[in-house]
Structure 1
Amino acid sequence: MYAYIIRRLLMLIPVLFGVSVVIFFTLRIIPGDVAQTILGTDATEDALAQLRKDFGLDQPVMKQYFSWMGGVLVGDFGESMRTGRDVLPDILNRFKITFELAILSAIISWIIAIPLGVIAGIKRNSKTDFTVRIISLLGVSIPNFALATVLILVLALTFSYSPPVGYVGFFEDPIKNLQILILPAIVLGTAMAGAVMRMTRSSILEILRQDFVRTIRAKGAKERLVIFNHALRNAMIPILTIIGMQIGVLLGGTVIIEQIFSLPGLGQLVLTSINQRDFTVIQGAVLFIAFVFVMINLLVDLLYSYLDPRITYK
């Protein structure tokens, strides 16, 4: 197990290196002068030259890259071109909000998707099954931003309710924190639930056809024990795979939802930095998201062995 974990952690090196190369050089080929964008059209040549020098933009591109990566290797992601603050603390502060939103969305998704998926798998081709399949298809098909907009409009016009603006930490005020995050979490969780629901249904159907399930039923086991103690446990591996992928995607894909609900998360930070051409923040945020995504996949792989003792890592 430990040897497997070490190998997977070593695999982080080429993955993060590739991500760093792609994001760094992609930003450098975007047309336009970064210094001009930051200082505006009225800036003097001396001011532009000084800004380029301060951020190393006057250096060759390869030298800029190795200088940036040298800092990353020791935990220094550089300074924001806009604010002058260190990039990493800003990323970590914003990431806490995005992470909380992603986890709450995932919990909502599991509460909705797994029970309905199990019911649909047990009652195959019934009215309940068709209803669940339609719900899951709607969840997968409706874009997040459209659902968020409709939800806000319905609440505002019908109940004169509008989502709270800003963010309050969970430990500062748990009730206020939940009020702020519940609507965006419902929007994201609904989209996640569609895919998890479909995967749960198909996995349950496949497991229920297995010989060991027929053997357990033949021994007189109660149907509830057959479903939850045996079928669902064995069906959780593909379900866990798609859940892990969705959480990873959520951590980097909440940009629009955070913008709609005015949440100061990592997605909003990236979007603002793109609009402001703040290269150091964009580079650091994308690299950090890639790191978290890979670590979530590693955690999911390790959970496989817990769910199925036959799976071992050497």
Structure 2
Amino acid sequence: MRNYIIKRILLLIPILFIVALIAFFITNLMPGDPVRVILGNMAAEAEIVRVKASLGLDQPLIVRFFKWLANIVRGNFGDSLYLNAPVSQVLAERIRPTFLIAVFAEVFGITAGLLLGILAAVKHRKFLDQFSITISLFGISIPSFWLALILMYIFSVRLGWFPVSGYEPFAEAGLGTFKYIVLPAVTLAFMQAGLIARMTRSAMLDTLKHDYIRTAKSKGLSTYSIVFKHALKNSMLPIITVIGHNFAVLLGGTWIVETIFVIPGTGFMAINAIMRRDIPVIQASIIFVALIYVVLNLLVDLSYAFLNPKIRYQ
């Protein structure tokens, strides 16, 4: 196991290098001049040249790449061109609401998805099975921006249960922070629940056909014991894969929902950075998302050994 973990960690280095290479050159080849965005279109040419030199943007692209790469290895992503603050500090501040939304969405999605998937498998080809399939297809198919607007209209505008938009940190609002999190989390949870429900149903249907399940039934074990202690436990490998991938998507992909609800998370930060041509923030956002994906994929792979003792990593 230790050798496998070391190999996988070493394998992350070339993956992240390729991501960094793509992120750097794509962001620097984007149309638009970030210096003109900072100074405005009416800025004097001498001032533009001076600012470019101070930011190092007058150097050859390949030189800037290796300097930037050396800095990010040390955890230095540079300074935001617009916010005039270290990118790492900005990212650390913005990750809190994103993490809260992702965790709540994943909890809602796992709970609803597992329940729907288990009911569909146990009541195969019955009403509950058809109901579960319909709900899961609805969750997978509905665009998140449309669902966000519908939930906002019903629960914020019409009922007034939750704020229409905005966010207050936990240090200032206490438990009141969660009223800003519920609607974005539920919006994202719909898709997660649909994916998890379909995978749970498929895995459970396959497991329930095995001989040891029929043996458990012949011994008179309760339905609860058969479903949760035997069938679900032995169906968890593909479900865990979906859950791990979904959580990575949530942490790195809340951009649309955060923009709609005006949540100052990493997604909202990245969208604003793209509009402002804030290259260091865009680059850090891409690296952040890639790092989340590779780390969570590693954790999912390692979890297989705990769920199935037959799996041994070399």
TM-score (norm 2): 0.96
CA distance in structure 1 between the aligned counterparts of 2:282 and 2:234, rounded to whole angstroms:
41
Q: Is 2:309 the counterpart of 1:309?
A: yes
Report what 2:37 is aligned to. 37
1:46-94 CA distance string (max 9 Å, x none): 1101111111110000001001001011111111111221111111221
The answer for the alignment partner of 1:192 in structure 2 is 192
Deviation, 1:162, is: 4.9
Displacement of 1:164? 5.7
Residue equivalent to 2:57: 57
1:158 Cα deviation (Å)? 3.0
Hey, what does 1:132 align to over in structure 2? 132
Please give the alpha-carbon distance, in whole angstroms, between the structure 2 residues aligned to 1:156 and 1:164.
5
Aligned to 1:264: 264
> Unmatched 5+ residue regions in structure 1?
none
| Structure 1 CA distance for aligned equivalents of residues 161 and 213 of structure 2 | 50
Pairs within 5 Å for 1:228-267: 228-267=228-267
Counterparts of 1:253 and 1:305 in 2: how far apart (Å)? 28
Taking the aligned partners of 2:307 and 2:172, their CA distance within structure 1 comes to: 36
Distance in 1, Cα, partners of 2:26 & 2:286? 12
Residues 78-119 of structure 1 show CA distances to partners (whole Å, capped at 9, x for unaligned) of 111112211111112211221111011000011111011101
Q: What letter is aligned with 2:201?
A: R
Displacement after TM superposition at 1:298 (Å): 1.1
Partners of 1:254 and 1:20 in 2: how far apart? 21
Aligned to 1:46: 46
**Matched-pair contact (CA < 8 Å) for 1:251–1:289:** yes
Deviation at 1:196, TM superposition (A): 0.6
Partner Cα separation in structure 1 for residue 148 and residue 112 of structure 2: 18
Aligned to 1:279: 279
Structure-2 change in CA distance of 1:283 and 1:4 (3 Å):
same
CA drift of 1:31 comes to: 2.1
5+ residue gaps, structure 2, are none
**How much has 1:29 moved relative to structure 2?**
1.9
- Which residue in 1 is equivalent to 2:217? 217
- Establish whether residue 99 from structure 1 lines up as the match of residue 99 from structure 2: yes
- The offset of 1:195, in angstroms, is 0.7
**C-alpha distance 172-4 of structure 1, shift in aligned 2 (>3 A):** farther
TM-score (norm. length: structure 1): 0.96
Look up the SS of the partner of 1:153 in the other structure.
Answer: helix
Instruction: Give the deviation of 1:221 after TM superposition.
Output: 2.0
* Cα distance in 2 for residues equivalent to 1:33 and 1:24: 15
Compute the RMSD of aligned alpha carbons. 1.4
Q: Which residue of 1 aligns with 2:150?
A: 150
CA distance in 2, matches of 1:157, 1:296: 37
Aligned with 1:92: secondary structure?
helix
Percent identity, aligned pairs only?
Answer: 39
2-structure distance, mates of 1:154, 1:312: 50
Q: CA deviation at 1:172?
A: 5.0
Distance 1:174 1:236, change over 3 A: farther
